[in-house]
Chain A
């Protein structure tokens, strides 16, 4: 069979489709760079939807940071190797504003990143400190702050979200809280129901009317109803507003366990809007090989239709950690999977984990990753940039513990911002 090879020429190629990869593409498009993005479904599908900047520092203190910007200053002093040490607060703020504005333009509105962390609800009825939340979730922060009369609603057949559990964990600090279980209209069979399926159904005006009726019937004297995140996938704010209008209640969403809609919203918005804006997006595929050449770098991969090659002047590596395949844990150590870049890591496997899982000092392997210079260029074994064309972003970077520090989204967005800035500067110098 004669099949034409597909070869593309771009200024910038982004490898990875997690939050860092998507953020890099947003910043690159803002700068007018011709861009390609390749990467298997990133962990973006697993996100709560909250965009954390810095929740805890020092982590051992276990005290939520009220002012993350102040926390960043302390962090830079205490951990000079942390990726945040290479990015100024004003740059981070710019990156967050650009990112949340771009995502809001794509139909998923976010609260403007502010001075302080918000205390955002988790599905188990605890709080996490975060900087920016989807507007569908924001009224929950406010209801809690006001300790308003609120009813948490769960749905028969939905796994991993229990209104009773949320209430049990919060009732001491939030006396006006109660729980109720409802059936989702048309899904009363008692078999498993998925947030994604309910969210899709609520895109339909007629289904919203039925659901709002259901909500009115169980609201009692509550001022707010807290629902699992199911209020639409595409342009959820319109669904949210319409349900509030129909029910006459204040409604908010609480993130659910994966497979959850908050991440699906982001991924689908990116996947749909990027190609419309001229970005070459090859989702769900991994780059097989990266070949440096005199006049650029060639990425090779296979998608379901066959071979693809992308020739780029600059490349951003945003391949994530172990789950996404950016790092590999082997018998003899941690390896960077695509380019075999040196990985800073503990000496020997026995040093990866501490004895106790909840050791307040954390586990050393979580701080493993690749080293970069101030231009966010990964370093080779000689300690010099591996290539003038290669940049890196996201949690693949060493010297951070994003899960415990609650800074995953912040590192992704801010480092993508810096990596794109450096790549753009290199491209300008070149021409």
Chain B
């Protein structure tokens, strides 16, 4: 990011803040108690914190707020709102401030990702076109069929009309690590799910939302909603990606889109399939009693579904690794901290700030002394790996799908890049 932007028009933060207040609340009743700042990992970055932000808004310091680069270090994780006795929504103000920055001054990584999404019908932030996606999927599916007899009839449907589940896909796998696509397909195959990808609008990520440009966010969500409606699927399900859920769920409401389907999240389906006995996972493979902790993605837990999905994250984890081997980080569930990977922070090029933000997550993980962090979110995954390396942690970060397949004995040799040597050989077919 370069320099201080010239923002025109400058936002009247106080007026916008008043509009955002819940009924009966008042900024006069803000005690300036500082619970927001105390609980915010971005406090102190760029000389700002949430309490200061809201007080400056009340004082009419609009120019300062319209130009502070702090808004790109705030991941809009809503932890401040969560602990505020007045439920004051500071992240919404941050979103407005982001939107008002001139495009050429916004962090380039976020802008480029959004532009890529707008350019292609795939809506992929990594610029992966639909035809490439289909080709990669076909190729990897053929490999899975070849490698494991049990999946020799594995089918990866694309554009299957009337399938029950519409599954989205984070671009990271097809673009960067296609071998990571297999585990989720195997799980669907195992439970006999009736599912499909789509050739358009399949991507999970939405960097347009992080630019603060509401129109671009809406366009992204609209394309995806249209894709699901066209295929007539009953349930849209996110992959293990936190913000992909929030962006479509919030976007449908915010922009009043017509969505003829339900929104489901993958973790709760894992939990349901385990309860129903369709995914007979167990923890016998964890012979060394390796310890696991859970990162609650803010976008899925605190910002969207809340406690029910936090409980499902734990239910699935305990089944997978053994009750006594799950050590919750503190705080957890809806009160968990953002890792600092979300909100576009990973792509914003502000590495030093991002790692300073992530120190709190690092401390949380280290306090558990866990060997592995389990998380169903790509941004969390990347950020926790990076801060682990930066601050000298020795934990590893894994997706749920990796452990589910490991436990079922169906994890291929090439699907283990995030597992340590301790698990590299477990359950491999000889």
**Is the beta-carbon distance between A203 and B306 smaller than 8 angstroms?**
no
Taking CB atoms and an 8 Å cut-off, the chain B residues in 325-379 that contact chain A are 328, 330-335, 359-360, 363-364, 366-367, 369
A43 to B304, CA, bound (A): 25
Residues of B near A194 (CB, < 8 A) are 34, 37-38, 43
**Is the beta-carbon distance between B44 and A192 smaller than 8 angstroms?**
yes
A1 to B304, CA, bound (A): 15
Residues of A near B188 (CB, < 8 A) are none
The residue from B43, B303, B307 contacting A275, defined by CB atoms under 8 A apart: B307
**Is the beta-carbon distance between B366 and A305 smaller than 8 angstroms?**
no
Is there a chain A Cβ closer than 8 Å to B176's Cβ? no
A209 to B328, CA, bound (A): 23
**Mask: chain B, 15-44; 1 = CB below 8 Å from A; 0 = not:** 000000000100000010111011100011
Residues of B near A191 (CB, < 8 A) are 44
Is there a chain A Cβ closer than 8 Å to B305's Cβ? yes
Is there a chain B Cβ closer than 8 Å to A244's Cβ? no
**Is the beta-carbon distance between A324 and B85 smaller than 8 angstroms?**
yes
**Is the beta-carbon distance between B306 and A303 smaller than 8 angstroms?**
yes
Distance to closest chain B CB from A17 (angstroms): 10
Per the CB 8 Å criterion, the residue count for chain B at the interface is: 47
Is there a chain B Cβ closer than 8 Å to A34's Cβ? no
Q: Which residue of B lies closest to A203 (CB)?
A: B367
**Is the beta-carbon distance between A271 and B85 smaller than 8 angstroms?**
no
Q: Which residue of A lies closest to B304 (CB)?
A: A305
How many residues of A sit at the interface, in one of the four size bands? 35 or more
The residue from A200, A275, A284 contacting B363, defined by CB atoms under 8 A apart: A200
**Mask: chain A, 195-208; 1 = CB below 8 Å from B; 0 = not:** 11100110111110
**Is the beta-carbon distance between A3 and B262 smaller than 8 angstroms?**
yes
**Is the beta-carbon distance between B333 and A275 smaller than 8 angstroms?**
yes
Residues of A near B364 (CB, < 8 A) are 200, 203
Q: Which residue of A lies closest to B248 (CB)?
A: A1
Taking CB atoms and an 8 Å cut-off, the chain A residues in 252-310 that contact chain B are 258-259, 268, 271-272, 275, 281-284, 303-305
**Is the beta-carbon distance between A268 and B330 smaller than 8 angstroms?**
yes
Taking CB atoms and an 8 Å cut-off, the chain B residues in 387-426 that contact chain A are none
Is there a chain A Cβ closer than 8 Å to B252's Cβ? yes
Is there a chain A Cβ closer than 8 Å to B82's Cβ? yes
Residues of A near B37 (CB, < 8 A) are 194, 259
Q: Which residue of B lies closest to A157 (CB)?
A: B44
Most chain-B Cβ atoms within 10 A of its Cβ — which of A191, A283, A304? A304
**Is the beta-carbon distance between A305 and B306 smaller than 8 angstroms?**
yes
Residues of A near B151 (CB, < 8 A) are none
A281 to B335, CA, bound (A): 13
Is there a chain B Cβ closer than 8 Å to A45's Cβ? yes
Is there a chain A Cβ closer than 8 Å to B120's Cβ? no
A190 to B309, CA, bound (A): 40
Given A46-B33, A304-B304, also A204-B366 (CB < 8 A): yes
A285 to B49, CA, bound (A): 24
Distance to closest chain B CB from A361 (angstroms): 27
Residues of A near B35 (CB, < 8 A) are 41, 45, 258-259
A201 to B362, CA, bound (A): 9
Taking CB atoms and an 8 Å cut-off, the chain B residues in 232-272 that contact chain A are 249, 252-253, 257, 259-263
Q: Which residue of A lies closest to B36 (CB)?
A: A259
Residues of B near A304 (CB, < 8 A) are 302-304, 306
**Is the beta-carbon distance between B328 and A272 smaller than 8 angstroms?**
yes
**Is the beta-carbon distance between B85 and A40 smaller than 8 angstroms?**
yes
**Is the beta-carbon distance between A45 and B306 smaller than 8 angstroms?**
no
A205 to B365, CA, bound (A): 12
**Is the beta-carbon distance between A259 and B33 smaller than 8 angstroms?**
yes
**Is the beta-carbon distance between B44 and A233 smaller than 8 angstroms?**
no
**Mask: chain A, 230-259; 1 = CB below 8 Å from B; 0 = not:** 000110000000000000000000000011
A57 to B409, CA, bound (A): 69
Is there a chain B Cβ closer than 8 Å to A2's Cβ? yes
A45 to B331, CA, bound (A): 14
A42 to B86, CA, bound (A): 10
Residues of A near B44 (CB, < 8 A) are 189, 191-192
Distance to closest chain A CB from B271 (angstroms): 15
Distance to closest chain B CB from A270 (angstroms): 11
Is there a chain B Cβ closer than 8 Å to A4's Cβ? yes
Residues of A near B311 (CB, < 8 A) are 275
**Is the beta-carbon distance between B363 and A203 smaller than 8 angstroms?**
yes
Q: Which residue of A lies closest to B85 (CB)?
A: A41
Residues of A near B31 (CB, < 8 A) are 258, 323
**Is the beta-carbon distance between B366 and A206 smaller than 8 angstroms?**
yes
**Is the beta-carbon distance between B263 and A41 smaller than 8 angstroms?**
no
Residues of B near A303 (CB, < 8 A) are 306
A35 to B334, CA, bound (A): 20
**Mask: chain A, 8-48; 1 = CB below 8 Å from B; 0 = not:** 00000000000000000000000000000000111101100
Is there a chain A Cβ closer than 8 Å to B134's Cβ? no
Residues of A near B85 (CB, < 8 A) are 40-43, 45, 323-324
Q: Which residue of A lies closest to B337 (CB)?
A: A200
**Mask: chain A, 309-334; 1 = CB below 8 Å from B; 0 = not:** 00000000000000111000000000
Most chain-B Cβ atoms within 10 A of its Cβ — which of A3, A43, A259? A259
Distance to closest chain B CB from A427 (angstroms): 25
A268 to B303, CA, bound (A): 18
**Is the beta-carbon distance between A3 and B263 smaller than 8 angstroms?**
yes
**Is the beta-carbon distance between B331 and A268 smaller than 8 angstroms?**
yes
Distance to closest chain A CB from B249 (angstroms): 8
A194 to B37, CA, bound (A): 8
Residues of B near A203 (CB, < 8 A) are 330, 363-364, 367
**Is the beta-carbon distance between A233 and B307 smaller than 8 angstroms?**
no
Is there a chain A Cβ closer than 8 Å to B62's Cβ? no
**Is the beta-carbon distance between A268 and B253 smaller than 8 angstroms?**
no
A233 to B360, CA, bound (A): 13
Q: Which residue of A lies closest to B253 (CB)?
A: A1
Distance to closest chain A CB from B166 (angstroms): 13
Q: Which residue of B lies closest to A42 (CB)?
A: B85
Distance to closest chain B CB from A36 (angstroms): 12
Is there a chain A Cβ closer than 8 Å to B142's Cβ? no
Residues of B near A3 (CB, < 8 A) are 262-263
Q: Which residue of B lies closest to A189 (CB)?
A: B44
22 pairs, A vs B, C-beta closer than 8 Å? A1-B257, A2-B259, A2-B261, A3-B263, A40-B85, A41-B85, A46-B33, A189-B44, A196-B38, A196-B39, A203-B364, A204-B367, A233-B330, A258-B34, A259-B34, A272-B331, A281-B307, A284-B334, A304-B302, A305-B304, A323-B85, A325-B24
Q: A272-B335, A284-B334, A304-B306 are in contact. List 9 more A-B contacts (CB 8 A).
A: A41-B84, A43-B85, A194-B38, A201-B363, A203-B364, A204-B366, A259-B37, A284-B87, A304-B303
Nearest 8 interchain pairs by C-beta: A203-B367, A234-B330, A259-B38, A194-B38, A1-B259, A196-B38, A259-B35, A259-B34
